[in-house]
Structure 1
Amino acid sequence: MIDAGKAGLDADALVHLHEAEMPESYADSVKLLGEMRDKIRDGFAAGNVEQADGPLHEVGHLLEHIETLVNQSSLSDDQKKQAAVAIESLFDTFGKVDARVHDKQGKAGKEYSEVTESVDASIKVLADLVDATKK
């Protein structure tokens, strides 16, 4: 695996990369998640669905990777549960946004603007655990 911070990779660079190329550390993975969230958010805000759609499709792979890192970490059971709830929420929320993007009638799922607070809150939970994963 590569270290995204050391390699200078960002959310654009990791779109379409494989699991073996994900960041090694939990901290770098959560940082990348924030960058991908920003790309998705900014793409929708600018009305550029193409900019948002690539990271939106890839965010699930990153969430799976983060889930693996959490399960392998020395976090307490309570902290692992907090992370699992946040990850599940992100899977669900990004899935709803993706459903809206691909619904030809635009009635399924949710607009990104409807889920911003939920996404930000879940990412904050994961970010708040970064220091605990370094112990």
Structure 2
Amino acid sequence: MSSTPEAGTRITLYRAPSDPHDILRAKDEIIAKLTARVAQLNADKEDIQAQIVQRDKETAILQNFIHEQAIGIRDLNSKIGRQEKQFKDLIYEQNVSHNTIDDKTHEIDGLKAQISKQERELEDQSREN
């Protein structure tokens, strides 16, 4: 029995027995070895197919998760956009309020000046009378 590898193939040569009974037994051994190898290859194939199915399921789960995350990100970006607009609106309202306060303060200062002037005029009139 010797092995000669050629082009990635392993060939095993057998010395043929002379007795027909031994020939049948050798044939049965070869068939048993080949059957065992085929059974192992089929089991390996089933394992690989199961791994592929599992990987496909995991991939689908991850794709769904990624899709959900993308939707969440889109929603958050939309919310951020609305909040930025609200913030800008509030800043604008604050500026308007400050301007209104400044205008009213200036108006009050003018009224105080008028009151002071009128009080002085009244005092002057009181002194004259």
- TM-score w.r.t. the length of structure 2 is 0.29
The structure with the larger Rg is 2
Higher-helix-fraction structure: 2
The one of the two structures with greater contact order (alpha-carbon pairs below 8 A, sep at least 6) is: 1
